[in-house]
A and B are shown apart, each in its own frame.
Chain A
Amino acid sequence: MQGNGQPAIRADRLTRLYKMGETTVRALEDISLEIGTGEFVALLGTSGSGKSTLLNLIAGLDRPTSGAIYAHGKNLAEMDSEELARHRSQSIGMVFQAFNLLPRMTMAENVELPLRLAEVDRNERAQRVRDAIERVGLSARTNHRPTELSGGEQQRAALARALVNRPAILLADEPTGNLDSATGKEIMDLLREINLSLRMTIVMVTHQRELAERYSERLLLMRDGKLEADGVRQ
């Protein structure tokens, strides 16, 4: 994990426009912000507010139309696709609303996938996979396929997969969106535990204000592609 005194994430007049036929959609407009290392930030907003676009730009899955986005001082806007892939592999862990586990692999194999992509030595992988699975409390379900796991277990497995490469930033896109409230709470507890114990920067997209206020230490409210409010929870 990186922590070189620079903010974990910095956006500088970040703008992302999409062309949809003749019209131009302003998904993000002139966003400037800083997220410090170890912060747990919730991105709140309605559908189409630009929160997922911002998350994708931080992940390096998308490029800004203008402006700059820095992760630990490195401008992602200037990276080529190979460097962005390395950024995602080494610095970013991602958790999705739909879990996105590969159905034909066992849970352990899913967790191992980022290690394969990062070309981690085969001998080292098994231990790291075990550690990650243990952290999310799924050791008993290692060889189950995703379809044999409950929603909460699948999200835990996805979380283990996001953690296995020891990233500096964890991006969670509606991580509780497909879960009932009790299971959602378990996942949120796990995220907070990871944030506190590993001092991992977490940016979570959600539209559940109550959840955001309860678990995150900072709320970024977005509306129509703009940052409407930036508040630290007391």
Chain B
Amino acid sequence: MKIGDLTELAIRNLREALLRNSLTTLGITVGVASLVAMLSLGAGLQHLADQRLSQSGLFNAVIVSPRNGFGDFGGATTRNQSPVVTPRQLDDVARDQIGKLPHVTEVYPNIRFPTEIYFNGSPYPTTVAGIPMSDSSDGAFDGMTGKFFSSGSADEAILQSEFARQLIAGASPNTPPNAHAGSTSPELTAELNSLLGKEITVRYAERQPLVQPAGTPLSNDAEGDAPGGFSLVPHQLNLRIVGIVETEPASGLAGPGQGRLLIPERVAEKLSAAQGSDLRALLSGGGSQTTYQSLTVRVANASEVERAESAIKDMGFSAFSLLDATRNLRVVFAVFDLLLGIFGSLALIVASLGIINTLVMAILERRREIGVLKALGAADRDIKGLFFAEAGVMGVLGGICGVVFGWLIGRALNLGTNIYLARLSLPSATISVVPLWLVISAIIFAVIVSLAAGIYPASRAAKLNPIEALRYE
């Protein structure tokens, strides 16, 4: 019999014992729904972790530092390091060269320098960090209070929330963070919001190339004797607070110390503020040139990180990425998904017993019909096909309904989680996602399980002796 006729007859047969077949299909629906809900949770949590990792800027970034320097990342550089390449200065030439490597989208210096800021007349020592504009597009600052920098050259600042709390409390630089730290009371949120739009003054030491050995009148700290040295000139800059963020994304990877006052990377670069690496560069004889403590190299996607990393190492620099860490995370998620899948499948396996039961009952009820079909010319495979088609139709229907129910359960989980997170004043999160692959594979899996459940009843029906079946009343 042709597949179209088989399906048509199967649907017709299923409609005859509507209640029984609906209950069996409901069993499959519940099985698939549990599987989809479980796996959507796995997929959602993985997605969430991926999102958070990519937001942290660790995913597609390579941190470059000069080799053998104190900006060098210890053990990380010892692996895969080519021994023949001589160490180089991390200067503008190197920055250009790295920028021209394939798949590199952005190279920017990790600028962070100590500073003292003035707010309402009080000084607060802290660390300034330069933040590239690309951070706003990759979601690193999602969920922040206020907004991101309006442009790369805007004199604007984003505060790290703990630092913002210090400003609110008016704590002195020597006291630990105030008692509010960590709490998220509505009053505090309102106070944090009140900081937005206010001005702060940043004081920093500008590094100026030393043209004359006599030094500049403004500086007492200049290394006057050293040819090609630089002088340090105190400067100040007024910044407008535009946002407050929980922590600096990617902090700790790009350099020592967490940036508590974030400014646009280009603004930070223009300030030419003296950094820790300057002294080292000076001592090594390259004082007049700009050198970088470290550069962050962004590549188009995570799969290119390894290639970029080794190319940079070949140029004579230390390079570091968190690729291995994310790999391990994927293994953890694969195992997690497997366990969720196994538990989710259990309900579907139980549902398959329902299919076997229903179809065996159907054989008993339709014994005579099977005999008639055989007498009219149905081959064993036609009878088998008919019962398979019935199991398959139940599988498809149960699969589709199950996916819909599973998706609804996922939505409910998301809703519940977000209500809970909102109560804790935490940003919302999607913990359950139903990707297309899950929809398709859940339906296919339901059909396969249903067909497998149909094997025994179908062969039993096909083996019926037509003479006995026709005699059956």
Residues of chain A having any CB pair with chain B under 8 Å:
56, 59, 61-62, 81-82, 85-86, 88-90, 92, 94, 96, 100, 102, 104-105, 113-114, 116-119, 161, 165
Chain B residues positioned under 8 Å from A161 (CB to CB)? 376
Q: How far is the CA of A20 from the CA of B189 in the complex (A)?
A: 90
A85-B378 contact, Cβ under 8 Å, with A61-B466, A113-B373: yes
CB distance from B466 to the nearest CB of A (A): 5
Chain A residues positioned under 8 Å from B112 (CB to CB)? none
The answer on a CB contact under 8 Å between A118 and B379 is no
- The 10 nearest A-B residue pairs measured at CB: A89-B377, A85-B379, A88-B377, A116-B5, A117-B377, A100-B372, A114-B376, A61-B466, A94-B375, A117-B378
CB distance from B25 to the nearest CB of A (A): 19
Q: How far is the CA of A113 from the CA of B372 in the complex (A)?
A: 10
Is B79's beta carbon under 8 Å from chain A?
no
Can you identify 11 A-B contacts, CB atoms within 8 angstroms?
A: A61-B374, A61-B466, A62-B467, A85-B382, A90-B377, A94-B375, A100-B375, A105-B12, A113-B373, A117-B377, A119-B1
Q: How far is the CA of A161 from the CA of B375 in the complex (A)?
A: 12
**Most chain-B CB neighbours within 10 Å: which of A62, A85, A86, A92?**
A85
Nearest-CB residue, chain B, relative to A121 = B2
Contacting residue for B376 out of A86, A104, A113, CB 8 A: A113
Chain A residues positioned under 8 Å from B378 (CB to CB)? 85, 89, 117
Residues of chain B having any CB pair with chain A under 8 Å:
1-2, 5, 9, 12, 16, 368-369, 371-382, 466-467, 470
CB distance from B13 to the nearest CB of A (A): 8
CB distance from B391 to the nearest CB of A (A): 19
Q: How far is the CA of A94 from the CA of B467 in the complex (A)?
A: 13
Nearest-CB residue, chain A, relative to B9 = A116
Chain B residues positioned under 8 Å from A118 (CB to CB)? 377
The answer on a CB contact under 8 Å between A119 and B2 is yes
Chain B residues positioned under 8 Å from A94 (CB to CB)? 375-376
The answer on a CB contact under 8 Å between A96 and B377 is no
Chain A residues positioned under 8 Å from B1 (CB to CB)? 116-117, 119
Chain A residues positioned under 8 Å from B379 (CB to CB)? 81-82, 85-86
Chain A residues positioned under 8 Å from B381 (CB to CB)? 82
Q: How far is the CA of A137 from the CA of B371 in the complex (A)?
A: 27
Nearest-CB residue, chain B, relative to A93 = B376
The answer on a CB contact under 8 Å between A114 and B377 is yes
**Most chain-A CB neighbours within 10 Å: which of B16, B369, B375?**
B375
Chain B residues positioned under 8 Å from A165 (CB to CB)? 377
The answer on a CB contact under 8 Å between B466 and A86 is no
Q: Supply 10 further A-B pairs (C-beta < 8 A) apart from A61-B375, A118-B377.
A: A61-B467, A62-B467, A81-B380, A82-B379, A89-B376, A102-B369, A113-B373, A113-B376, A119-B1, A161-B376
Nearest-CB residue, chain A, relative to B463 = A81
**Most chain-A CB neighbours within 10 Å: which of B5, B376, B380, B467?**
B376
Chain B residues positioned under 8 Å from A102 (CB to CB)? 369, 372
Q: How far is the CA of A96 from the CA of B372 in the complex (A)?
A: 10
